[in-house]
Amino acid sequence: MKKITTTFLIFSIIFIYIASPKYAYAAFSLVANTGKQAVSGEGPTTDAIDTTGANLIVIGVTWYSQVQDMTLSDSKGNTWTPLTQVDKDDWTTQMFYAYAPTVGSGHTFTAGGSATYSTIEVSAWSGAASSPFDQQSTFQTNGSSIQPGSITPTEDNELVVTHFGQRDNANPGTVNSGYTITDAFGNLGGHALGGSMAYIIQTSAAATNPTWSTDSGGLVALIASFKAGADVADEVPTVVTDFASNINGSSGNLNGTKTGGDDATQHGFAWGTNSGLNGGDTATTTLGAKTSNSPFTSTVSLSNNTTYYFRAYGTNAAGTGYGIIRSFYSGNSTATRKMILFQGSTIKLFEKMIIHQQ
């Protein structure tokens, strides 16, 4: 009697997919804001705010500038980067910013020096890029409304801040819809100047030129945009394609292991008879979310005597990670192997024993 041995072939095709990290822009978020208007000749100091968590502070100041200098300072000892200064008659409006400033509770800001009758508006933000400043524009006029000039941020998700200075106007400035005012002060009479600050966070970069309005007088408007920081989103899951198991002509187990990365929102296997797993005969198993770094298995139906290819995958918001492509040969089912065993044979029954002859 001949002994028949059935051998299943399991081999691998090395195909490594390296998932590129995807980036998502950190959303700007207003941490705190404050403002102060001088009611006499002193340079104003704001009320204390908590700026913890901010990595960008933007300030707008309006002051009498005729033979007077304005010194901007804060209780944390930060250094301020000035933007374009706009002079109107005997007064001035200017914006400043500080990236990665020292922050915390009890944070105050002062528009001091010899400048008098000033206003100061402060907004503290999280989510800024390491080199945040992008665009700016300014304009000054007499009238009841003003636009600072159109700017178009170079990136999506930028913060756009506009500052408005006024003299001879009793009412605080108002700005068109889409912008949110953080602080606004009108002219208190006498020498006091007015100032206001507003912002918009753009999802998609687009030209913007807000309109400030008040009663008639001398007006100055400024606008500046700041870039959002790019943070790596969820880390792509890492997975390994393990060898297939329990293979016969009708079914088999595809095996893989999640080895790292962030949680997978979906995982499983791509498999089929196309060696690149990119043809119409490729299927995908879906096993749902996977939070642990551990093995996983899909049982699939197979055809006899067929070479199959498969690889593990795991996906989340950052992308999809894949294991290498492995392959196996399905061979014959148990029933088919038994039939092949006796194919071309002579079977005789002798004294209750089966005699098998080739």
Write out pLDDT tens, residues 302-331. Answer: 999 999 999 999 998 888 999 999 999 998
pLDDT at 4: 40
| Mean pLDDT estimate for the chain | 85
Write out pLDDT tens, residues 113-134. Answer: 777 788 999 999 999 999 999 9
From residue 186, alpha-carbon distances to 47, 141, 173, 211 in Å are 18, 17, 7, 16
pLDDT above 80 (res 149): yes
Write out pLDDT tens, residues 69-97. Answer: 789 999 999 999 999 999 888 889 999 99
DSSP secondary structure letters along 166-221: EES-SSPPEE-TT-EEEEEE---STT--EEEEEEEE-SS---B---EEEEEEEEEE
Task: Look up the pTM and report it.
Answer: 0.61
Residue % of the chain over a pLDDT of 90:
63
Band (26; pLDDT cuts 50, 70, 90):
low
Residues 95-112, mean pLDDT to the nearest whole number: 96
Can you tell me whether residue 160 is helix, strand or coil?
Answer: strand
pLDDT above 70 (res 347): no
Q: Is the dihedral of CA 82, 86, 91, 95 positive or negative?
A: negative
User: Among residues 153, 128, 146, 137, which one has the least CA distance to residue 58?
Assistant: 128
Numbered ranges of CATH 2.60.40.10 in the chain: 10-22+235-341
Q: What is the DSSP letter of 101?
A: -
Domain 10-22+235-341 sits in which CATH superfamily? Immunoglobulins (2.60.40.10)
